[in-house]
Structure 1
Amino acid sequence: MDFDESFHSAPVRYALDEVDSDEELEDKIEPNTIQVMVSLPDTSLTLIFGLSGPGSIYIDSLKGLTSIGTVENKQETVASILQIPNQPIVFVSFTKQIEANESVQYVRSIFEQCSQGLSKVIILDSFTTESDLIPPTLRVLQSSASPLVQTLTLYEIPHMVTGLSAAIINYCEIHSIPCYNLLTLQEYVYGKLLVTDTTLEAYNHGLHQLGHDHLNFDSELLQKALESRHSGRIDDSHHRLYV
């Protein structure tokens, strides 16, 4: 064995990593009130999750997306399902934060719709500022079934992912699905979520390294995405975007 060879992501501990099977997952969740209203194309897909915050804003800032469904809980829409026509990529953009104790059920409900198979799963996630942070500010945490991407910096121990992103990664580990969790630097100013061009450009870089060169956020759509959130605003410089 070549001990100089880079390994996949270090074993960053997941909040759910003591769960070993679908049956154990099912035992730990409440009765299902989640509905995934979508009809997916009969082909192997790349599934991209945009978590509430920078991830969902990025997806809402992409050109050419059409709505193909929703994720609902007790008749409330919590995520939009979108697709670029004629491309085998489906986006799930979460408009609300998901409670940790509901994450497993959301993940199971969404993945059950992907019976045709998944070639890859990507999560658009974020992490907070750290004292030892050095550029680049994008980090990646990947499942053991994922080919290593040498150009992306790993998100390593002692860091930990929780909630929805942890549930997605665990599902992919159980089912041997290649999964990449792209974490961009998340900043706050006076308690407000701060999204900058740099925040979203990190996603561009990560997605391009994963073979999706055609994905780039659009500045005008970015402004509209922020304005659609009732507390969102853009300051005069148009470089500091608050949600």
Structure 2
Amino acid sequence: MHQCGTRGAGLQPGKPAEECVFYRQKDNPSVLICQVTCYVAEDQLFQWTEKVFDCLQHRELNVTVLSDSTVAEYKTADYVSCSSAPFLRSLHSGAFTGQPVCQSLEQPNIVTGLSAAVLNHCEVHRIAAVVYQCYSDVIGLDSVTMETYKPALTKLGKSIQLDPSPSTDVLRKFVRNTNIQSNLYI
């Protein structure tokens, strides 16, 4: 993978922080990864999503979103103990024909924020999309939470040739680089 050099969504003039970085796979240029590195305000979610998707060809587009949330936001009739966290749930657009790697997100749970904006855009434009929502007992990403995404990453690895089992050290390095200000220790 190499970085494409596209930086920032340009939604907040004068704000130097990058909002997203695009990566394109050298061997397969049809694979594009968008890493969102900072908060996108609620009133800008749909505008941000439109701007990103306007740059993409929609034909045969498959979108996978990896998102996280606290287990306290997960609603269930049964008690969810901290020992069962982190866990993964999925929600997909009507155009998605694949088999998600985990259970579907049960009602009354919802996907919010940027994940919801992306999924909504994909539903409206009939784009195949799946959101994998990780519910964790920690705020932010850590190596244990990253491990929860492995089934989704392994499934993606078939089409984008990822390392089928990224080491814990690689995951820890990713977490340290993307969330250094919010982690006290790892």
Same fold (TM over 0.5): yes
Q: Over residues 104-136 of structure 1, what are the superposed CA-to-partner deviations in whole Å (9 max), with x where a residue is unaligned?
A: 011000000013634200101113214337588
Aligned to 1:91, what secondary structure does the other structure show? Answer: strand
Equivalences, count: 168
Aligned counterpart for 2:2 among listed residues 66, 74, 80: 66
Question: Which structure: larger Rg?
Answer: 1
Which residue in 2 is equivalent to 1:82? 23
Gaps of 5+ in 2: none
Aligned counterpart for 2:118 among listed residues 165, 168, 171: 168
CA distance in structure 1 between the aligned counterparts of 2:169 and 2:100, rounded to whole angstroms = 32
Q: Give the alignment's TM-score, normalised by structure 1.
A: 0.60
CA distance in structure 2 between the aligned counterparts of 1:221 and 1:128, rounded to whole angstroms = 23
* % same residue: 21
Q: Is the 8 A contact 2:88 2:134 kept in 1?
A: yes
Q: Is the 8 A contact 1:66 1:85 kept in 2?
A: yes
Q: Over residues 140-177 of structure 1, what are the superposed CA-to-partner deviations in whole Å (9 max), with x where a residue is unaligned?
A: 10011111516521012100112211111111111111
Matched, 1:195 2:156: no
- Deviation, 1:83, is 1.9
Q: Is the 8 A contact 1:169 1:179 kept in 2?
A: yes
Question: How do 1:33-48 residues align onto structure 2 when only pairs under 5 Å count?
Answer: none
For the structure 1 residues 135 and 150, does the alpha-carbon distance in structure 2 shift closer, same or farther, using more than 3 Å as the test?
farther
CA distance in structure 2 between the aligned counterparts of 1:136 and 1:146, rounded to whole angstroms = 25
Answer 1 or 2: which has greater strand percent: 1
Matched, 1:124 2:61: no
Q: Over residues 192-241 of structure 1, what are the superposed CA-to-partner deviations in whole Å (9 max), with x where a residue is unaligned?
A: 535133x1122120232354484344444434434434425574xxxxx4
For the structure 1 residues 227 and 194, does the alpha-carbon distance in structure 2 shift closer, same or farther, using more than 3 Å as the test?
closer
Matched, 1:183 2:133: yes
Which residue in 2 is equivalent to 1:26? none
Higher mean C-alpha deviation, range 163-172 or range 199-208:
199-208
CA distance in structure 1 between the aligned counterparts of 2:38 and 2:86, rounded to whole angstroms = 28
Which residue in 2 is equivalent to 1:34? none
CA distance in structure 2 between the aligned counterparts of 1:98 and 1:136, rounded to whole angstroms = 24
Answer 1 or 2: which has greater helix percent: 2
Gaps of 5+ in 1: 1-64, 236-240
CA distance in structure 2 between the aligned counterparts of 1:97 and 1:139, rounded to whole angstroms = 22
**AA matched with 2:89:** R
Q: Give the alignment's TM-score, normalised by structure 2.
A: 0.76
